[in-house]
Amino acid sequence: MKQQIIRCTNIEKDLAQFISDLSYDGLFLLTDENTHKLCLPLIESVPEIRTAKQIIIPAGDENKNIRSLSMVWEFLSQNGANRKSLLINLGGGMLTDLGGFAAATFKRGIRFINIPTTLLGAVDAAVGGKTGINFKGLKNEIGAFAPALAVLIDSNFFKTLDATNLLSGYAEMLKHALLNSEQELNEILRFDLENPDYQKLNSLLFESVLVKERIVTKDPTEQGIRKALNLGHTFGHAFESFSYEIKRPVPHGYAVAWGTVCELYLSLVKLGFDKDDWMKVARFVKAHYGVFAFDCTHYQRLYELMQHDKKNETTTINFSLLKKIGEIEINQTANQQEIDETLDFFREYFGL
């Protein structure tokens, strides 16, 4: 099932219109503690939202776990949800991932709508049909492919984001630009993140979402070309999981930005990716995202975390790399020595 991506000009009006065209038995709204307070007011004038049964879970990626998932299942069960019920997920990537998985598994699947409230949620988690939770310290270890009926995107939500959350989402837009074209990459690198023009950001965001949608439509369950969307994520997920282990958690997008620098370096070494293109991306990441500090004693643990990545099908680590901007090579592998050399290069470039 292909999900609708709706570019909203008035979230209340567009949501009311979409819901009114649906037939359902029981409406449920999932928020976390933050989005309940900050984002629900933007849609609560919709009559259906006022009467929806509300589920509130704790905020933060550390709560994207089996406990929160069980809370949602329990609420749905105790409040009469059935297979014809509809769930609306209002929140960032943590919430749409968890809410989507709850919907996909409750009574073997109920329909759901995503309303992303963060840039990262809009460009990454809410679109594409991946749902899931973290498990035993591993990102998105348990999940399912389950597309939302629709994703309603309104940039008014993003005006409340701090710089860290804006940058976290922007890293995924950087990745999509690398997968698409040099023109889009240059637009992403030129955008003024210090003083964002939200109208321009909305335009860039939709170009970015459409890149992902085109890839997902060709390969909904990640058997082939959809693996391209993992650019930056093999190193990135290892950095992110490791940051939680050492009690210095970093946002997902920051980890992906650093992972992208590493995987473009692998692309340079293994596929001849242009060094000047690598350099301009690395400069952008260093200027905006700073550095993730680790030393050579951490290499083994980072390698072990990469081994847990769901993309691996053999004893080697699987990557999606670029021959050049827009030219994707999936199912590339690297051994432990090549990964260690990449980590060496990363630390040298970032002055560690």
Residues 136 and 191 in one domain: no
CATH classification of the domain holding 251: 1.20.1090.10
Domain boundary among 160, 180, 212: 160
By three-state DSSP, how is residue 1 classified? Answer: coil
List of the chain residues with pLDDT < 50: none
Do 228 and 92 sit in the same domain of this protein? no
Last residue in a domain, options 160, 183, 206: 160
| Domain identity same for 15 and 156 | yes
The Cα 293–Cα 262 span in angstroms is 14
Residues 152 and 218 occupy one common structural domain: no
pLDDT number for residue 67: 97
How do 150-153 and 317-324 pair as beta strands? unpaired
**Total residues belonging to the chain:** 352
According to the model, what pLDDT value does residue 284 have?
98
pLDDT at 312: 63
Cα torsion 238, 222, 337, 274: sign: negative
C-alpha separations of 333 from 91, 274, 310 in Å: 35, 19, 14
Distance CA 99, CA 113 (A): 9
Same domain for 327 and 264, yes or no, is: yes
What is the model's pLDDT at position 272? 98
Q: How many of the other CB atoms lie within 10 Å of CB of 344?
A: 13
Phi, psi of 229 (to 5 degrees): -70, -10
75: domain range?
4-160
- Angle subtended at Cα 121 by Cα 115 and Cα 127, rounded to the nearest 5 degrees: 75
Same domain, 66 and 213: no
Residues 221 and 170 in one domain: yes
Task: Report pLDDT for 83.
Answer: 96
Q: Are 345 and 252 within one domain?
A: yes
Taking the CB of residue 106, how many other CB atoms lie within 10 A of it? 21
DSSP, residue by residue, 91-153: ESHHHHHHHHHHHHHGGG--EEEEEE-SHHIIIIITSSSEEEEEETTEEEEEEEE---SEEEE
The answer to whether the beta carbons of residues 213 and 176 sit under 8 Å apart is: no
The answer to whether residues 307 and 317 touch, using CB atoms and an 8 Å cutoff, is: yes
Within this chain, do residues 230 and 92 fall inside the same structural domain, yes or no?
Answer: no
CA-based nearest residue to 170, from 152, 196, 147, 150: 196
When divided into structural domains, the chain yields a total of: 2
DSSP one-letter code for 82? -
Q: Which of 254, 65, 64, 237 is nearest to 172 (CA)?
A: 254
* Residue listed under structure tokens 């209340």: 12
Domain boundary among 160, 190, 210: 160
Q: How far is CA 72 from the centre of its chain?
A: 21
Rounded Cα distance between 250 and 122, Å, is 19
pLDDT of 148 reads 94
CA 80 to chain centroid: 31
Tell me the CATH number at 56: 3.40.50.1970
Residues 264 and 168 in one domain: yes
Nearest Cα neighbor of 31 from 74, 95, 87, 94 is 95
Exposed, middle or buried by CB within 10 Å (0-12, 13-18, 19+), for 2?
A: exposed
Segments of the chain assigned E as strands: 4-7, 27-32, 53-57, 86-91, 111-116, 130-135, 138-145, 150-153, 317-324, 327-334
Are residues 129 and 218 located together in one domain of the fold? no
Which amino acid appears at position 68 of this protein? Answer: S
Q: Do 254 and 285 belong together in one domain?
A: yes
